[in-house]
């Protein structure tokens, strides 16, 4: 098996991956003030719990307490002698500071091992490099990404075996067909946006031959096709979860396996979402996947599926009706339809919320391919933070091939990404989770010309409690304390994206860090000057406040590796502690 060979036959690759991984642990846990490195004679030291063991490394510390650690500088010293580096030992050596509870440590260690495995696979393949990716296609870029920049265990995938990894991991990028089931309408539910009926969707997403084959399976069992909804499922989910958990339903023909569809799909960074490789203008398909990955079991709630299209429709209507958002090219990819199947046995047995109630659901999301004009291409925003296996950042390549200077490119990016999000926040009290994987950039000559927001149903919050929403969209309405309302901006934009971009451009792009933050401040001021009628809200929710305290994502995962946030109170989470706001110095003087 190729994946096994990557690790067992290339030990030098694995050692490189361990250094990169430990450098990320140091950087992100120091950023969150979980680790407290001591500075000694120009280097930093972390002392293990056991006497005589320490780690030594060099680093630069940027704004927002962002640590840029040199992987090659990391040394483990035991009783004065250099010792081999090992990722799990690093965590256990420092766990007296990190604070992973004994009961949670095995789960976390398994996610560490899975993340190392994925990184070894990517580095073992040797590429592609940043220069190539600057001109690569959308799915080639997607395949090359290395996971969430802030989470340490960002590719744990607990539940996949070696064969599964090679089939289903985004970086393996193996096109595959989905398995389709028929769910009896007494247990299954279909919901679509207005004027999108079930039959219309199925004929959009399946071929005539697919539909005929699937109907023949039902008729061959003496079942009426009118009594069932077709449901796409992840192959892993079918073989590892559904065939046993739903065995009574399968035995009684409440749930019928129909076989594979003809189209092939490629798993995306979010791992349970698929891009249609046979026809890129067809919808993404998002499925339930019962593996543990980055703080959640990646299931999909049939209860949420009932309301997801309505939420998307409402958000879409707001965005499409707003002239400023349209002028800036901002749009959302609607989740146009969803199916959910209820396992009545688990519903009756389990009174509390549980992943076992959410093992069978799916949704269809619009593809960004249909949004392109001639001469444009798509790229996930995660690519702006990407470092290739040779250590070269992609962002400087995009800038150098665009014909723009770094400040010009950054301004174009901020205009298309940040200004629309500021407008949604100030005009509508609406926030998204616009991290790198959730934003698709449209580029012309490698310059951003619009931003496309996705993953709406699960990750949008409306903080205005006075807005009258359609009944099915009301779950996005959450009462948030005034002091927390700017936190999504500081967490998702400043801490989740901008601090990484600032460091990359300072290290490899020739743009001093403070110039980047000055451009961010100028973007905010330009937006505010364009809407003087909202001056009161700009003062009330001040983005130039002297200090900020973004969410501490790794601390959240350490505290509960299976549920990071409570949907009913999504901002009641630990922060990284107060850090200086890098744009505060640019606040206009009254």
Of 110, 125, 140, which one is at a domain's C-terminal end?
125
pLDDT band of residue 519 (cuts 50, 70, 90) is very high
Best-predicted range by mean pLDDT among 126-140, 217-231, 348-362?
A: 217-231
pTM of the model: 0.95
Mean pLDDT of the chain: 94
In a domain, 281, yes or no: yes
Range of the domain at 487: 384-586
In a domain, 262, yes or no: yes
Place of tokens 């004009």: 373
Q: Are residues 47 and 16 in the same domain?
A: yes
Report DSSP state, residue 448. E
Is the model's pLDDT at 504 over the cut of 50? Answer: yes
Is the model's pLDDT at 7 over the cut of 60? Answer: no
Q: What is the mean pLDDT of residues 211-231?
A: 98
Q: Are residues 462 and 572 in the same domain?
A: yes
Q: Say what percent of the chain tops pLDDT 90.
A: 84
In a domain, 20, yes or no: yes
Q: Are residues 405 and 338 in the same domain?
A: no
Q: Are residues 239 and 340 in the same domain?
A: yes
Q: What is the mean pLDDT of residues 233-262?
A: 97
Q: What is the pLDDT of residue 6?
A: 44
Tens-digit pLDDT profile for residues 426-437: 999 999 999 999
Tens-digit pLDDT profile for residues 318-366: 999 999 999 999 999 999 999 999 988 888 888 888 888 899 999 999 9
Rounded to whole angstroms, the Cα distance separating 344 from 326 reads: 45
pLDDT band of residue 104 (cuts 50, 70, 90) is confident
Q: Are residues 283 and 408 in the same domain?
A: no
Q: Are residues 328 and 396 in the same domain?
A: no
CATH of residue 116's domain is 3.30.310.280
Tens-digit pLDDT profile for residues 264-322: 999 999 999 999 999 999 999 999 999 988 877 888 989 889 999 999 999 999 999 99
Q: What is the mean pLDDT of residues 194-216?
A: 97
In a domain, 200, yes or no: yes
Who contacts 448 (Cβ-Cβ below 8 Å, separation ≥6)?
A: 412, 413, 416, 417, 441, 442
Of 331, 365, 399, which one is at a domain's C-terminal end?
365
pLDDT band of residue 3 (cuts 50, 70, 90) is very low
Q: Please state the domain count of the chain.
A: 3
In a domain, 430, yes or no: yes
Q: Are residues 37 and 183 in the same domain?
A: no
CATH of residue 543's domain is 1.10.510.40
In a domain, 74, yes or no: yes
Rounded to whole angstroms, the Cα distance separating 359 from 325 reads: 37
Q: Are residues 348 and 417 in the same domain?
A: no
Show the beta-strand stretches assigned E in 359-401.
361-365, 376-380
Q: Are residues 416 and 448 in the same domain?
A: yes
**Of 124-133, 322-331, 435-444, 525-534, minimum mean pLDDT range:** 124-133
In a domain, 555, yes or no: yes
Who contacts 329 (Cβ-Cβ below 8 Å, separation ≥6)?
A: 416, 442, 449, 450, 451
Q: Are 70 and 58 contacting, i.e. CB atoms less than 8 angstroms apart?
A: yes
Q: Say what percent of the chain tops pLDDT 70.
A: 96
Tens-digit pLDDT profile for residues 528-570: 999 999 999 999 999 999 999 999 999 998 887 666 666 566 6
Of 125, 156, 188, which one is at a domain's C-terminal end?
125
In a domain, 278, yes or no: yes
Q: Are residues 355 and 388 in the same domain?
A: no
Closest-CA residue to 388 (of 22, 68, 129): 129
Q: What is the mean pLDDT of residues 494-513?
A: 98
Specify the 3-state DSSP secondary structure of 286.
strand
Q: Are residues 204 and 96 in the same domain?
A: no
Q: Are residues 33 and 121 in the same domain?
A: yes
């Amino acid at each position: 098996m190729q994946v096994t060979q990557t690790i067992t036959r290339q030990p030098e690759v694995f050692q490189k991956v361990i250094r990169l991984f430990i450098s990320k642990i140091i950087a992100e846990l120091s950023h969150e003030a979980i680790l407290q490195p001591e500075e000694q004679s120009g280097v930093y030291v972390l002392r293990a719990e056991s006497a005589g063991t320490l780690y030594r490394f060099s680093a630069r510390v940027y704004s927002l307490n962002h640590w840029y650690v040199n992987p090659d500088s990391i040394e483990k010293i035991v009783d004065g002698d250099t010792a081999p580096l090992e990722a799990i030992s690093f965590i256990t050596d420092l766990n007296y500071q990190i604070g992973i509870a004994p009961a949670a440590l095995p789960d976390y260690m398994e996610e560490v091992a899975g993340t190392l495995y994925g990184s070894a696979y990517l580095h073992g393949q040797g590429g592609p490099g940043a220069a190539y990716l600057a001109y690569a296609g959308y799915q080639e870029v997607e395949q090359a990404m290395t996971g969430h920049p802030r989470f340490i265990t960002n590719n744990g995938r607990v539940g996949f075996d070696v064969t599964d990894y090679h089939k289903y991991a985004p970086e393996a990028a193996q096109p595959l067909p989905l398995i389709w089931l028929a769910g009896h309408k007494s247990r299954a539910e279909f919901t679509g946006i207005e004027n999108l009926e079930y039959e219309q969707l199925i004929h959009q997403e399946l071929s005539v031959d697919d539909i005929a084959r699937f109907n023949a399976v039902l008729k061959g069992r003496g079942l009426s096709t009118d009594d069932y909804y077709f449901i796409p499922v992840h192959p892993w989910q079918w073989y590892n979860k559904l065939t046993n958990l739903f065995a009574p339903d399968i035995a009684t023909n409440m749930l019928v396996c129909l076989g594979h569809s003809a189209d092939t799909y490629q798993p995306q960074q979010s791992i349970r979402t698929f891009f249609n490789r046979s026809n890129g203008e067809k919808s993404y398909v998002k499925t339930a996947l019962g593996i543990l990955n980055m703080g959640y079991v990646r299931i999909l709630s049939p209860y949420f599926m009932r309301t997801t299209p309505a939420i998307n429709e409402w958000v879409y209507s707001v965005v499409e009706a707003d002239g400023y958002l349209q002028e800036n090219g901002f749009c959302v990819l609607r989740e146009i339809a969803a199916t959910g199947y209820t396992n009545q046995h688990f519903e009756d047995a389990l009174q509390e919320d549980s992943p076992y109630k959410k093992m069978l659901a799916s949704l269809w999301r619009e593809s960004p391919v249909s949004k392109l004009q001639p001469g444009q291409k798509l790229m996930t925003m995660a690519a702006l933070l990407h470092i290739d296996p040779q250590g070269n950042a992609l962002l400087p390549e995009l800038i150098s091939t665009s014909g723009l200077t770094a400040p010009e490119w950054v301004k174009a990016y901020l205009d298309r990404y940040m200004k629309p999000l500021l407008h949604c926040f100030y005009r509508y009290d609406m926030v998204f989770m616009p991290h790198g994987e959730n934003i698709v950039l449209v580029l012309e000559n490698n310059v951003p010309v619009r931003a496309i927001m996705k993953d709406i149903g699960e990750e949008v919050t409306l903080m205005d409690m006075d807005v009258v929403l359609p009944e099915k969209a009301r779950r996005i309405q959450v009462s948030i304390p005034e002091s927390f309302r700017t936190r999504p901006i500081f967490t998702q934009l400043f801490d989740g994206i901008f601090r990484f971009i600032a460091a990359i451009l300072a290290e490899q792009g020739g743009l001093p860090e403070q110039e980047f933050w000055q451009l961010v401040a100028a973007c905010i001021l330009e937006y505010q000057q364009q809407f003087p009628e909202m001056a009161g809200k700009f003062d009330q929710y001040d983005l130039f406040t002297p200090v900020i305290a973004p969410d501490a994502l790794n601390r959240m995962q350490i505290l509960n590796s299976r549920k990071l946030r409570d949907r009913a109170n999504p901002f009641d989470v630990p922060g990284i502690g107060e850090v200086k706001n890098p744009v505060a110095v640019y606040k206009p003087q009254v």
